[in-house]
Chain A
Amino acid sequence: MPVQVLGEILSIRKVGAYQAVTVVAPGIAELYRPGHFVAVQVGGPESSMLLRRAFAIYDVQSRGVYGGTVQFVFSVHGKGTEWLSHRKPQDKIDVVGPLGKPFRLPTTPVRATLVGGGYGSAPLLPLAVALRERGCTVDFVLGAGSADKLFGQLDAKRLAGVIAVTTDDGSAGERGRVSDVLPQVLERTNSDVVYACGPMAMLRAVTEIATARGITAQVAVEESMACGIGVCMTCVLPVRGEDDVTRMVRSCVEGPVFLGDRVRWDDVGTVPADALGAPTGGH
């Protein structure tokens, strides 16, 4: 069950092009599993920005003197994240979490490839730890626009068997996209499963590559959300259910982690005509 807490910021630090915030949030760490996210109020109690900003959880500490902390990574996109970037230690922020459906973990020790785009790698690092605890071998493919937008490369190196890095401008690793190197990595490692987090186009490409090899991809999507708790119905995308029926599902509660081959990538942003309750011309 998620909780809403007004927590003190312990630290806020710059990591490349991003910032990482650690906040005291008792009750969240205890329930956390990799893939969960938090929704953060921005602008203070009298803010004109009413909607929460959602961030994947990067790290939690459930013990220690602060009695439970949560760390998340963000990049400044607009006024809300701009406000957040100016917070100082001891400032308080209102955090709701843990939210969403986490990554499903394999029950047997398999080999897993984790693909992160930009700071989409943040939730994959604790996932790698959890996978290794289960005896899995973990490989990483990290990509970003440029070197400063790669996140968690050092952590990944420590955890991974194989690590491949790409940047659009060639400032780190190979020039190109994660989807350019992923097929070779999967071939080399003979991975059983793929996990990915990053931009929608990347998740789609990763799903296609995994599906072509006959393995499953679990992907954490980034849809724009207003509440993060399942009441506003803004973060929907078309997903095929086990009954083969396509529904417009909420990425905050039914996701953010989906089986990649269940997402109707061609139709994201639209309502496919065969979706349950799709307009029949009447509305």
Chain B
Amino acid sequence: MTELTVRRDVPAPRPRVDLSTRLAGRTFPNPVFTASGCAAAGQELDQFFDITELGGVVTKSIMLAPRSGRATPRMAETPSGMLNSIGLQGPGIDAFLDKDLAWLADRGARAVVSIAGGSVEDYTQLAQRLRGAPGLAMLEVNISCPNVEDRGQVFACDPRAASEVVSAVRKTMTPDIPVFAKLSPDVTDITAIARACVDAGADGLSVINTLLGMAIDTDTMRPVLAGVTGGLSGPAIRPVAVRCVWQVHQALPDVPILGMGGIRTGRDALEFVLAGASAVSVGTTVFGDPMAPVRVLAELAQALADRGFERFSDAVGLAHRPPEAALPEGPDPVGDPA
């Protein structure tokens, strides 16, 4: 496992696999996206690679008004992961439309705009402001940010609240823009929330947001984060995320899933795809490796080619086949030279 570092001066040749993916009626050239809150609005990463090479750029959740976020410390490194307690810092929708989305549109990137609010009305207004905005390819409704002071505001922990938000956004947004709801793993049955969102009109689901976590400094004997609790992300949560994608895909096989949670390599991405994700987001890994999204894309393409896939879409959900079922023509589970 030493060939994981593809640098900008080593453009990986992409094997001939059709990487395009359909998410609720919209086709994206490939299935690798950034993750909300891990790529700002794309400009910083565009210094390291051409962000239009990605399937989509998922922006940091935007709210109606400018928001300062929480006090520092906002971050704690944990084994194979990190806790964050940013508190949805952002410029507000006006500045976002003028500067960030305008830049993404100019750049020719496919923008997946993540929205967050404190009430159904906030989400409705955000969807209204984004209607017809140039560059907008998809909407991700963040109903699961753990960094709000009132845990009762985590809409994704309650099927009825989740349903109200999603329904309001879906009604407001034009039909050509897929609306995805981002789910929290911190629930007893993620499929119940998933179903509620889909019944309310969600075209797809983003699975998963961070897990609520905490770290205590044993020297100061106080919580490390100023916000006390924070969202856990990174490879540490990958098995949880794969399980959630698996469960949601099993319950709702026709609903497209944007899968995320600790993806570090193309093989990690493939795991999500086999579990049922039609696209993946590379999140926390970007902090340690700004080139990670394009590297993961190249590695995923290679991993698919190594297994005999001609089309990415043939791999989606393939792990759900019965143990005795034959693979479709082409894919070969033992064809991996690595």
Genuine A/B complex:
yes
Query: Interface residues, chain A, CB within 8 Å of chain B?
Result: 1-6, 41, 45-46, 48-52, 94, 96, 223-224, 226-227, 229-237, 247-248, 253, 268-271, 275-279, 282-283
Tell which of A4, A96, A235, A270 touches B71, judged by Cβ atoms closer than 8 Å.
A270
Neighbouring B residues of A269 by C-beta, 8 Å: 71-73, 226
A234 and B291 contact, Cβ closer than 8 Å, known pairs A2-B48, A5-B7, A48-B79? no
Tell which of A4, A227, A234, A283 touches B8, judged by Cβ atoms closer than 8 Å.
A4
Cα distance A173–B203 in the bound complex, in angstroms: 69
Cα distance A145–B82 in the bound complex, in angstroms: 32
Once the chains bind, are A6 and B7 in contact (CB under 8 Å)?
Answer: yes
Query: Interface residues, chain B, CB within 8 Å of chain A?
Result: 1-2, 4-5, 7-9, 37-40, 44-45, 47-48, 60, 65-75, 77, 79-82, 84, 86-87, 89-90, 92, 118, 148-150, 226, 234-235, 284-291
Once the chains bind, are A271 and B148 in contact (CB under 8 Å)?
Answer: no
Cα distance A279–B287 in the bound complex, in angstroms: 27
A45 and B44 contact, Cβ closer than 8 Å, known pairs A96-B290, A229-B290? no
Once the chains bind, are B72 and A231 in contact (CB under 8 Å)?
Answer: no
Q: List 24 A-B contacts (CB under 8 A).
A: A3-B8, A4-B289, A45-B1, A45-B4, A46-B4, A50-B77, A50-B80, A50-B284, A50-B285, A51-B77, A224-B72, A224-B73, A226-B75, A226-B82, A226-B84, A231-B40, A232-B287, A234-B75, A234-B86, A236-B69, A236-B72, A248-B89, A269-B72, A283-B118
Once the chains bind, are B149 and A283 in contact (CB under 8 Å)?
Answer: yes
Tell which of B47, B65, B69, B290 touches A248, judged by Cβ atoms closer than 8 Å.
B69
A49 and B77 contact, Cβ closer than 8 Å, known pairs A2-B48, A237-B72? yes
Neighbouring A residues of B45 by C-beta, 8 Å: 229, 231
Once the chains bind, are A233 and B74 in contact (CB under 8 Å)?
Answer: yes
- Main SS at interface, chain B: loop
Cα distance A52–B82 in the bound complex, in angstroms: 12
Once the chains bind, are A283 and B86 in contact (CB under 8 Å)?
Answer: no
Tell me, rounded to whole Å, the shortest Cβ–Cβ distance linking A241 to chain B.
13
Cα distance A232–B284 in the bound complex, in angstroms: 9
Neighbouring B residues of A5 by C-beta, 8 Å: 7, 9
Give the residue name and chain of the A residue nearest to B4 (CB): A45
Neighbouring A residues of B87 by C-beta, 8 Å: 283
Once the chains bind, are A231 and B286 in contact (CB under 8 Å)?
Answer: yes
Neighbouring B residues of A271 by C-beta, 8 Å: 68-71
Tell me, rounded to whole Å, the shortest Cβ–Cβ distance linking A271 to chain B.
5
Cα distance A227–B68 in the bound complex, in angstroms: 19
Once the chains bind, are B72 and A282 in contact (CB under 8 Å)?
Answer: no
Cα distance A223–B74 in the bound complex, in angstroms: 11
Neighbouring B residues of A4 by C-beta, 8 Å: 7-8, 48, 289-291
Cα distance A8–B80 in the bound complex, in angstroms: 25
Neighbouring B residues of A233 by C-beta, 8 Å: 37, 40, 60, 69, 74, 86, 89
Cα distance A45–B288 in the bound complex, in angstroms: 10
Neighbouring A residues of B72 by C-beta, 8 Å: 223-224, 234-237, 268-269
